[in-house]
Amino acid sequence: MYGANLEGDPVVNILRRLPLSRLLLLCSLVIALGASATAIAFALGSGPTPPRKPLAQAVHDALAAAPVEGVSANVKLTDHLLEGASLTADQSGSGGGGEAAGQVASSPLLSGASGRLWVAKDGRVRLELQAEKGDTQVLYDGHTLTVYDAASNTLYRYTPPAGTPGTDTHPATDKHEVPSVAKIEEAIAKLNHVNVSGATPTDIAGQPAYTARVSPKEGGSLIGGAELSWDANNGLPLRAALYSSTSSSPVIELAASEVSYGPVSGSVFEFTPPANAKIEEVTLPTKHPAGATGEHARPKVTTHGNGISGIAVLESNVKPGEKPANLPEGLPKVKLDATTTATELPTALGTLLSFERSGVRYLLAGAVTPANIEAVARGL
């Protein structure tokens, strides 16, 4: 399926013509479905609920709804991903690494927080999460993503290279083609590796809403659940959650409350960091030509296992005298053999493990337990 030509696919062509306001819902739904989840009951609220509909019909109606002028809401981010990961102290005894790891763990994005969310009609977004050590600001202007962490007085900025798919900055118009119910049913039917629930009527933040759930058809991973709820009247996402297979409570959940629809002032999206803020320009790895050597050599990537329980292994050469760039030193150490010690980051949804051996740096990642990752590492 990875080699399929999608240029002539009518579903792909339809999606390309959808404005950003409609793609927000569709992308969120795809993420929820792709996460693979078990069906977890969602407690219904006491507000108004919409009539029952098949999932394809509910999605179609959401995409076809008239766009709103803007959204303002209180939000709550729940994040238990790194609980128990021992990020608050430097267990290596070398100093420094634990402090940096602790700062990461205390970020509202990873520890959870309450705040405010604004979305403009043209797709601009601002998320403000409050914390004791300073608020975290997340802004998107349709092209550049900016994150300001007040605790470290650091601004992270990512701008996709020109020509990157999905970075068209031309304003969307209301003239677009909504996928038919049949096309949506066809797309859902192609999700062969997950069980997809119907659209469950509920209410979120006092708004009538639908909730969709999915479950994996194979086990063996820590991914236990995913849910998405959207406003039944206008299709805007109101709640998203991910679950671990070891708990019925969400590991990560972003839910709105006190939602209001209407124009959002442009001044809301204006943000100027302190003059002494550290600026970090984020860049993603670039592809290197096949056969490249030395510092331009492409890392070798292999996969152990299949499906949702597969483990990815990335191998890259370490130059003589190069400082190790593994996971933070404050993380637990795991003895793989008599001469090899690995750094491990266990989370509620998966595990990362890194180590070096004979001039090669290994990074293993998978939505599995530490024991599964360690077993693969010992066999390398």
The predicted structure's pLDDT at residue 133: 79
For 318-338, the DSSP string reads: --TTPPP--S-TTS-EEE-SS
Angle separating helix axes 181-189 and 55-64, nearest 10 degrees: 130
Q: Which amino acid is at 313?
A: V
Lowest mean pLDDT among 128-137, 180-189, 307-316: 128-137
pLDDT value at 252 more than 80: yes
pLDDT, averaged across the chain: 79
User: Higher-confidence residue: 22 or 355?
Assistant: 355
State the Rg of the chain over Cα: 22
Return d(Cα 206, Cα 66) in angstroms, integer.
20
Which comes out higher in pLDDT, residue 299 or 94? 299
| DSSP codes joined into one string, 258-280 | EEEES---GGGG-----TTPEEE
* 169-228 pLDDT tens trace: 444 444 568 999 999 999 999 998 888 999 999 999 889 999 999 888 888 999 988 999
Say if residue 358's pLDDT is above 80: yes
Query: Pairing relation of β-strands 125-129 and 113-120?
Result: antiparallel
Q: Which residue has the higher pLDDT, 46 or 158?
A: 158
**CA nearest to 363, candidates 372, 375, 351:** 351
- 191: how many CB neighbours lie within 10 A of its CB? 15
Q: Residue 219: what pLDDT?
A: 87
Checking if the pLDDT of 103 tops 80, the result is: no
Domains and CATH numbers, the chain: 10-281 (2.50.20.10), 294-378 (3.30.200)
Alpha carbons 111 and 129: distance in angstroms, whole number? 11
Q: pLDDT tier at 74 (50, 70, 90 boundaries)?
A: very high
Of the candidates 135, 154, 157, 153, the one whose C-alpha atom is nearest the C-alpha of residue 145 is 157
d(CA 358, CA 116): 50
Q: What is the rounded average pLDDT of the residues 62-69? A: 92
Cβ neighbours, 10 Å, residue 184: 22
Is the pLDDT reported for residue 17 higher than 50?
Answer: no
Cβ proximity of 72 and 118 under 8 Å: yes
How many CA atoms, within 13 angstroms, populate the side-chain half-sphere of residue 145?
6
SS3 60: helix
pLDDT interval class at 377 (50, 70, 90): very high
Closest among 29, 26, 27 to 37, alpha carbons compared? 29
Q: CB of 178 within 8 A of CB of 301? A: no
Backbone angles phi, psi at 166, to 5 degrees: 90, 5
pLDDT band at 293 (very low <50, low <70, confident <90, very high): low
Q: Which residue has the tokens 């709103």?
A: 68
Q: For residue 342, which amino acid is it?
A: A
d(CA 151, CA 39): 38
Angle, CA 238 vertex, CA 114 and CA 73 arms, to 5°:
50
